[in-house]
Chain A
Amino acid sequence: MYRFDVRIGHAGFRVGSPWRHPIDTLRRLYAGYPPPEGGGATLTARIAPPRPLRRWLRPQAAIAGDHCLPDVVPMALRHALLALEMAMNMQVALGERRHLLIHAAAVERGGKALILPGESGSGKSTLAALLGEAGWRVLADEFVLIDLATLRVRPFPRPISLKNDAIVEMQARVADESRFGPLLTGTPKGALRHLRPKADAIARMDESAVPALILFPAFGFPSDSAGVSRSELFARLTEGSTNYIALGQRGFETMLRIVDTTPAARFAYPDSAAGLAIVDQFCSEIGL
């Protein structure tokens, strides 16, 4: 078993693979991340051949670890990096019980967090990546963690997974080639490439932020925006949360406080420049 230990925010991972290459790739992608606190990881994420033969012959990587879902389709070994990332995601999505998870990206400025929820294709990752190069600190890509006690956003700055057109766009904006992972083509999500957040986002991964604004992006449409009602906000945030139900009453109370205290809106945007402009406009309106 090849192994790489890493800390991302509050989570200490032990990542394992029977193949060497995926671990080497992962280690390069996570260059600059600290090791787990006190030297001890508490979450195991790994990949494994679905059958012994698949280690060598048309090799495939199945997602495994402490927490996993049954019947996840294994991937071709050339997509092992994606499989490892998904295995790490799975540990958080299914195991996290100290923070409320919101399916969203988030960025921070001046101690205040802008939360961008959305399903894949909404453009949330791309926007977070763009904002991360434009004076904001990337807090999270896939999972925004809300501390149940303080209601603050706990950074979980994983590399952002860029898809399809967003890859070229970010390559043009990020000069440091070493921040990119390898280009993966033909994945279930199309072309995919990871972008490590700026060093500052990693160095400050223990600095939490106050949720200040929630914006639901919709990419690929002429610019517009509209309010989001409290009931819809509650429904959408819980719908995308993998641990809301498991947190029981604490989850309900935390979600209610977020919904009560955080302004929310949705907006449509045709391209990155327009998206950034709308975000700026919203932020200046609420003094963010």
Chain B
Amino acid sequence: MREENETGHLPSNAQGDKGGKAVSDDQLASRRAMLRIGALSGAVVFTIRPGVAQAAASAIKCSVPVPQSSQAGKWIKNDGSVVKAGTKNAYAPPDAPLSGEDVKNSLNYGTRYSGYDQDETDAFNNYIKKLSSGKQGYTCYASIQSRTP
């Protein structure tokens, strides 16, 4: 969900800084990320297609951050618990919140999250299954699960 995921998108009329101001590598990297240059996967055009299940539009649906934003830097253990980075049998969390559509497919059909292997996917899913009310992503998970596949 966009509001949970406020990695400020540039307005479409945004101008890059002209002039000779020095730009750090980090800023360049984040600008490349904003423009999605360097990320060939995924799409930038989502066409509204009523009445059909559409994974393509998942980016504009709800999403589940793994773990909570207050737990930045933590890893996810295979049983789904949130642990210190580098813990045995634990994995670095996904870079971005998982889309509701991907979570639904993974839970219902066993598909893997793009860019993650089976162990990582299992750990993330175990984390999601443990979400309780009040946690970020919980209502998204609930809305996915209450829909019949």
Is any CB of A less than 8 Å from a CB of B in the complex? Answer: yes
By a beta-carbon cutoff of 8 Å, the part of chain A in contact with chain B is: 118-123, 216-229, 231-232, 234-236, 238-242, 244-245, 266-268
Q: Which residue of A119, A232, A235 is within 8 Å of B148 (Cβ)?
A: A119
Which chain A residues border B51 with CB–CB below 8 Å? 239-242
Q: Which residue of B48, B134, B143 is within 8 Å of A122 (Cβ)?
A: B143
CB pair A266 B62 closer than 8 Å: yes
**Cα distance, A227 to B143, chains bound together (Å):** 13
B138 at interface, CB cutoff 8 A: yes
A60 to chain B, nearest CB (A): 25
B107 at interface, CB cutoff 8 A: no
- Residue of A225, A228, A232 ringed by the most chain B CB atoms within 10 A: A232
B75 to chain A, nearest CB (A): 25
With A227-B3, A244-B50 in contact, do A235 and B61 touch (Cβ < 8 Å)?
yes
**Cα distance, A229 to B61, chains bound together (Å):** 9
With A221-B142, A235-B61, A266-B139 in contact, do A228 and B1 touch (Cβ < 8 Å)?
yes
With A232-B62, A235-B48 in contact, do A218 and B57 touch (Cβ < 8 Å)?
no
With A223-B133, A245-B50, A266-B139 in contact, do A121 and B146 touch (Cβ < 8 Å)?
yes
- Residue of B49, B60, B132, B140 ringed by the most chain A CB atoms within 10 A: B60
**Cα distance, A238 to B46, chains bound together (Å):** 13
Interface size on B, as a range, is: 20 to 34
Question: Which residues between 119 and 149 of chain B lie within 8 Å of chain A, taking CB atoms?
Answer: 132-134, 138-140, 142-143, 145-148
With A122-B143, A218-B142 in contact, do A231 and B50 touch (Cβ < 8 Å)?
no
A161 to chain B, nearest CB (A): 15
CB pair A239 B146 closer than 8 Å: no
Which chain A residues border B54 with CB–CB below 8 Å? 239
CB pair B62 A221 closer than 8 Å: no
Q: Which residue of A220, A240, A267 is within 8 Å of B139 (Cβ)?
A: A267
Chain B interface, >50% SS class? loop
B84 at interface, CB cutoff 8 A: no
A164 to chain B, nearest CB (A): 12
22 sample A-B contacts, Cβ–Cβ < 8 Å, listed by A number? A118-B146, A119-B148, A122-B143, A122-B146, A218-B139, A218-B142, A220-B145, A221-B146, A222-B133, A224-B139, A226-B138, A228-B1, A232-B61, A232-B62, A235-B48, A235-B57, A235-B61, A238-B48, A239-B57, A241-B50, A266-B62, A267-B139
CB pair A268 B50 closer than 8 Å: no
Which chain A residues border B46 with CB–CB below 8 Å? 235
By a beta-carbon cutoff of 8 Å, the part of chain B in contact with chain A is: 1-3, 46, 48-51, 54, 57, 60-62, 132-134, 138-140, 142-143, 145-148
**Cα distance, A236 to B53, chains bound together (Å):** 11
Which chain B residues border A226 with CB–CB below 8 Å? 1, 138-140
Which chain A residues border B57 with CB–CB below 8 Å? 235, 239
Minimal Cβ-Cβ distance residue in A for B139: A226
CB pair A244 B133 closer than 8 Å: no
**Cα distance, A38 to B46, chains bound together (Å):** 45
B83 to chain A, nearest CB (A): 24
CB pair A236 B61 closer than 8 Å: yes
Which chain A residues border B139 with CB–CB below 8 Å? 218, 224-226, 266-268
Which chain B residues border A222 with CB–CB below 8 Å? 132-133
Q: Which residue of A224, A225, A239 is within 8 Å of B50 (Cβ)?
A: A239
